[in-house]
Structure 1
Amino acid sequence: MNFKLEKIFDRYGKIYAYEILLSDSSQIDWVTIDCHWLNSNVYSQLNYLLRKGYLLENNALFCTSTPKNNIKFFVNIERRQLKSISFLNILSGCIDKLRENKVSIFLEITERDSDFEVDINYLNKLKRKFGFLFVADDVVEGDARKEEIENGLYDVVKVESSYITNGSSRLREEILAIKQNFDCKFLAEKIETNSMHKEALSLPIDYFQGYLYP
């Protein structure tokens, strides 16, 4: 499998993290694809980071054995993968190895999978047991994960650009209410123009991602 890294920036234009993605996923049906393939994809991404021996930060290479700062990666995952105990144990082991080298892994739970067995109570148990960091992917207005977001399940919430454009006043109120109660960060994704970036900056959003950024 071939991967690419997509940069995530903070409000000051500094790199906050990278999302690790398949170089070409256009032919993949993520909803119906087998869990064994999904698990293999996640293992490959984490082993890629472990095996590589170095990581990118501000376009400079450095060895993971002596990193200057903690570096963060977002890894996509489906809810149904989190039902497998063997997968969770292997996943946790890989994340712990990377954490020893000051590499943090954020598990980006996609919007594609609505497995009702993997609910807020189940996910909170995983956070307590394994110390996982969760990200909500592609959040839109009236999102089905509203309860999870408002109850502090996610460490980062990725907000669709359409929500920022069409519901900025409501979004501002929702973000401020959540930040008042939880240490949750918000990320504007799919930012493609300077005007979109400017609008996102006007909100209490922490991070930015999209084609606009090099």
Structure 2
Amino acid sequence: MKTAYRPIFVARQPIFDRNGDVWGYELLYRASNTVSMDGSSPSTATSRVISDGLSLALDSVTDSKKILINFSRHMLLVESATVLPPEICIPEVLEDVGITPEIVSAVKRLKKAGYLIAVDDYVGQPGMEPMLKLADIVKVDMLGMKLSEVEKLSRTLTKYNCKLLAEKVENRGMFDLAVSLDYSYFQGFYFAKPELIEGRKISSCALTRFQLMKDLSSPDYCVDDVAKTISHDVGLSHRLLRYVSAVSHYAKIRSLSHAVAMLGLWPLKQWLMITMLSDTSREDRSQELIYQSACRGKFMEIIADSIAGNKFDRDSLFLLGLFSNLDALLGLPMAEITGHLPLDDTLNNTLCGEETPLSGLLNMLKAVEAADWATVAAALQQYSIPETDAAEAYTKAGAWAHKTLAAG
């Protein structure tokens, strides 16, 4: 029996602490029009989207991480947040809620119930003082403000008992500024962009991994070859057995060959490629990019059958998603990296930013991650992909990526 999925996209955006470790995630939802068409009231539908979306998101989030969720005026007044666990969920008060006595009372009730409170997109707008006094975290929008404005705003916030979160951090300069102003948390595309370092070369270790990835992506690479590759590495063999135990219902594994046979060739290749990517760095920032890459690859693979005309190869789409963050992971231009990978022209050109028949799919995934729902909707229409199929595929891909990396 097919699992019933509500058509909900859940974009997760990582929030880092001063050490560069992932402290939590902001979850941004996009529910299709069908969610609220079952006769339920707007408040009920909103609460259901939040609770269902959180359940889906938790399949791909480590238990100890905090979850930040935007709350509109209506959602605060109908106490939608109370469907969420206060020990991990932090409501974000949006900048346009209007600070009225009713809103202040609603937020006070949430704090009394044990919730931490975040104020979103603060840029010094007047009238926010009652909310700033209640806030545990204030998110300061760094984009578009001058250095002097950021410094002045940050100083005014020191009188409140709250921690500062710099959002929309786009580059290293903005990050360093926020650190110097004693910000505790950081969020933005800076953490997902490549830091190109002049003169850097691909290491011999990375070249070895690329060669193995080249072999793995070949249709001639057989199960025996994969098993032989794994058997030469005790640590890799142990990690494979852990992964098989996590994804299989088998109680006992007789041998490495048995484990290989249980998984199947393509799932095993996928696991190996992700494991090798994961080994490029153990920093939280890189691990977040690797999760994103794995999620992209699996989504591309799953959604291939839903694309009108079914004209794209599933395996090629998986590789496109998986390799889409290599420049950020290695700090090298994508063109230099792809020169070491045996990709066909379409994959290579797509990864290097050229317009191809696959560009729209990759851009759609980036739009999901940025919660740019208008672009997502346009891409789904372009490829004639049903929204319910895409939402289900994205949920499955996130859960798969999390399980694969956790077991590795």
Aligned residue in 2 for 1:154: 135
Equivalent position amino acid for 1:71 in 2: K
Aligned residue in 1 for 2:186: 208
- Aligned CA distance change for structure 1 residues 148 and 164 (closer, same or farther; 3 Å): farther
Equivalent position amino acid for 2:173 in 1: S
- DSSP-derived class of the 2:189 partner: coil
Distance in structure 2 (CA, Å) of the matches to 1:189 and 1:169 = 15
Aligned residue in 1 for 2:156: 174
Q: Do the aligned partners of 2:99 and 2:131 also contact (CA within 8 Å) in 1?
A: no
Aligned residue in 1 for 2:23: 16
- DSSP-derived class of the 2:61 partner: strand
Instruction: Report how far residue 73 of structure 1 moved.
Output: 0.6
Q: Do the aligned partners of 2:70 and 2:94 also contact (CA within 8 Å) in 1?
A: yes
> Which structure 1 segments of 5+ residues have no match?
26-35, 58-66
Instruction: Report how far residue 15 of structure 1 moved.
Output: 0.3
Aligned residue in 2 for 1:95: 85
1:40 aligns with 2:23: no
- DSSP-derived class of the 1:170 partner: helix
- DSSP-derived class of the 1:167 partner: helix
Q: Do the aligned partners of 1:188 and 1:209 also contact (CA within 8 Å) in 2?
A: yes
The structure richer in strand per residue is: 1
1:45-194 correspondence to structure 2 within 5 Å: 45-50=50-55, 54-57=59-62, 67=63, 70-84=64-78, 88=79, 91-95=81-85, 99=87, 104-114=88-98, 116-128=100-112, 130-149=113-132, 151=133, 153-161=134-142, 162-163=144-145, 165-178=147-160, 182=161, 184-194=162-172
Matched length? 177
Q: Do the aligned partners of 2:43 and 2:75 also contact (CA within 8 Å) in 1?
A: yes
Distance in structure 1 (CA, Å) of the matches to 2:14 and 2:42 = 25
- Aligned CA distance change for structure 1 residues 45 and 123 (closer, same or farther; 3 Å): closer
- DSSP-derived class of the 1:118 partner: helix
Instruction: Report how far residue 23 of structure 1 moved.
Output: 5.3
Q: Do the aligned partners of 2:81 and 2:91 also contact (CA within 8 Å) in 1?
A: no
Distance in structure 2 (CA, Å) of the matches to 1:93 and 1:24 = 17
The structure richer in helix per residue is: 2
Q: Do the aligned partners of 2:122 and 2:139 also contact (CA within 8 Å) in 1?
A: yes
Instruction: Report how far residue 196 of structure 1 moved.
Output: 1.2
Distance in structure 2 (CA, Å) of the matches to 1:148 and 1:94 = 21
TM-score, normalised to structure 1, is 0.70
Equivalent position amino acid for 1:50 in 2: S
Instruction: Report how far residue 6 of structure 1 moved.
Output: 0.3
> Which structure 2 segments of 5+ residues have no match?
1-7, 33-40, 193-408
Instruction: Report how far residue 107 of structure 1 moved.
Output: 0.4
- Aligned CA distance change for structure 1 residues 141 and 91 (closer, same or farther; 3 Å): closer
Cα deviation digits, residues 15-61 of structure 1 (max 9, x gap): 01101113599xxxxxxxxxx5465345323323335663334xxxx
Distance in structure 1 (CA, Å) of the matches to 2:58 and 2:188 = 27
Distance in structure 2 (CA, Å) of the matches to 1:209 and 1:39 = 30
Cα deviation digits, residues 90-126 of structure 1 (max 9, x gap): 6424426xx4xxxx00101111221624343442133
Runs of 4+ in structure 1 deviating by more than 4 angstroms, as ranges, are: 36-39
Q: Do the aligned partners of 1:42 and 1:75 also contact (CA within 8 Å) in 2?
A: no
Equivalent position amino acid for 2:93 in 1: I
Instruction: Report how far residue 187 of structure 1 moved.
Output: 0.3
Equivalent position amino acid for 1:202 in 2: S
Instruction: Report how far residue 4 of structure 1 moved.
Output: 1.0
Q: Do the aligned partners of 1:156 and 1:187 also contact (CA within 8 Å) in 2?
A: yes
TM-score, normalised to structure 2, is 0.39
Q: Tell me which structure has the larger Cα radius of gyration.
A: 2
1:2 aligns with 2:9: yes
Distance in structure 2 (CA, Å) of the matches to 1:73 and 1:175 = 23
Instruction: Report how far residue 3 of structure 1 moved.
Output: 1.2
Distance in structure 2 (CA, Å) of the matches to 1:167 and 1:115 = 23
Instruction: Report how far residue 12 of structure 1 moved.
Output: 1.0
Distance in structure 2 (CA, Å) of the matches to 1:38 and 1:140 = 29
Distance in structure 2 (CA, Å) of the matches to 1:123 and 1:74 = 15
Distance in structure 2 (CA, Å) of the matches to 1:74 and 1:121 = 20
